[in-house]
């Protein structure tokens, strides 16, 4: 019998990845059992484009329309962990994509508002979240650099696109003591950072991880 070659073995391994494999990866990534439960209850294949379901349980980004991607699950887990979401929290997400992280946040928080600048992504995410039965989520077509009328303030904000600086609107919309997790472009690449809002401004709390994100572009796509 011909021994299977190593590339084939690798290929077989990753095409065989399923929901439980992804949950196990998340268990190794974060300690908070609520976050693991959220990943257990949300199936990523429901939040990727049609035809990409076979890639959904890989721990890597999956392409979305408009040259966007849905983020790597282990990175999402670490960012949600850093944001320390409590069950009573109102959470703002900038960059909805197809709504995967939105669904995780909605499983953890009282209410989630999510903003994306592409109409096509907003519509897809709304449909995916409605199919999943999430009723505590509002997806808004808008620009995360701008204030969101009548929705704040938020206990936590997660930004899923890289910015050169913290948008003022996000600071204004946070409660004092509120957490902001954001990838910032720096001379050393993109760094995901945790900030906390204090009476005098944003205090940098800690570095989470280096990462690569799509840019936080200004303006709504027309």
- Active site positions, annotated: 71
**Residue pointed to by tokens 């990753």:** 14
**In the complex, residue closest to ligand SAH by CB:** 95
How far apart are alpha carbons 31 and 142 in whole angstroms? 34
Determine, following the binding rule CB under 6 A, whether residue 128 of this chain makes contact with ligand SAH. no
Stretch that binds ligand SAH, among 24-32, 140-148, 177-185, 194-202 (CB under 6 A): 140-148
Determine, following the binding rule CB under 6 A, whether residue 192 of this chain makes contact with ligand SAH. no
Determine, following the binding rule CB under 6 A, whether residue 157 of this chain makes contact with ligand SAH. no
Q: Is 116 helix (H, G, I), strand (E, B) or coil?
A: strand
**Cβ neighbours of 7 (radius 10 Å):** 8
Determine, following the binding rule CB under 6 A, whether residue 161 of this chain makes contact with ligand SAH. yes
Residue in 101, 128, 157, 173 binding ligand SAH, rule: CB under 6 A: 101
Query: What are the distances in angstroms from CA 10 to CA 4, 44, 57, 58, 74?
Result: 10, 22, 15, 13, 20
If the CB atoms of residues 8 and 65 are measured against ligand SAH, the closer one turns out to be 65
Q: Is the backbone of residue 70 left (phi > 0), alpha (psi -120 to 50) or beta? A: beta
Binding mask 107-126 for ligand SAH (x = CB under 6 A): --------xxxx--x-----
What residues numbered 32-91 form the site for ligand SAH, per CB under 6 A? 68-71, 76
The DSSP H or E segment spanning 119 is: helix 119-131
* Cis amide prior to 153 (ω within 30 degrees): yes
If the CB atoms of residues 13 and 218 are measured against ligand SAH, the closer one turns out to be 218
- Binding residues (CB under 6 A) for ligand SAH: these are 68-71, 76, 94-97, 100-101, 115-118, 121, 143-145, 160-161, 214, 216-218
């Amino acid at each position: 019998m011909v021994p299977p070659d190593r590339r084939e073995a690798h290929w077989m391994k990753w095409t065989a990845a399923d929901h439980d494999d992804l949950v196990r990866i998340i268990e190794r990534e974060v300690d908070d059992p609520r976050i693991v439960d959220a990943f257990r209850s949300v199936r990523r294949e429901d939040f990727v484009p049609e035809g990409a379901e076979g890639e959904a349980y890989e721990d890597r980004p999956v392409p979305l329309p408009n040259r966007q991607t849905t983020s790597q699950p282990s990175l999402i887990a670490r960012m949600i962990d850093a944001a320390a979401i409590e069950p009573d929290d109102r959470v703002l997400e900038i960059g909805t994509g197809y709504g995967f992280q939105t669904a995780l946040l909605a499983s953890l928080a009282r209410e989630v508002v999510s903003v994306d600048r592409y109409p096509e992504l907003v519509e897809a995410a709304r449909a995916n979240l409605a199919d999943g039965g999430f009723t505590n989520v509002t997806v808004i077509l808008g620009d995360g650099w701008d204030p969101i009328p009548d929705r704040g303030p938020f206990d936590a904000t997660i930004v899923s696109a890289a910015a050169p600086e913290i948008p003022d609107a996000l600071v204004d919309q946070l409660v004092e003591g509120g957490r902001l997790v954001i990838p910032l472009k720096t001379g050393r690449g993109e760094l995901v950072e945790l900030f906390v809002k204090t009476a005098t401004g944003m205090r940098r709390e800690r570095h989470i991880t280096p990462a690569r994100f799509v840019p936080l572009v200004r303006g709504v796509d027309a």
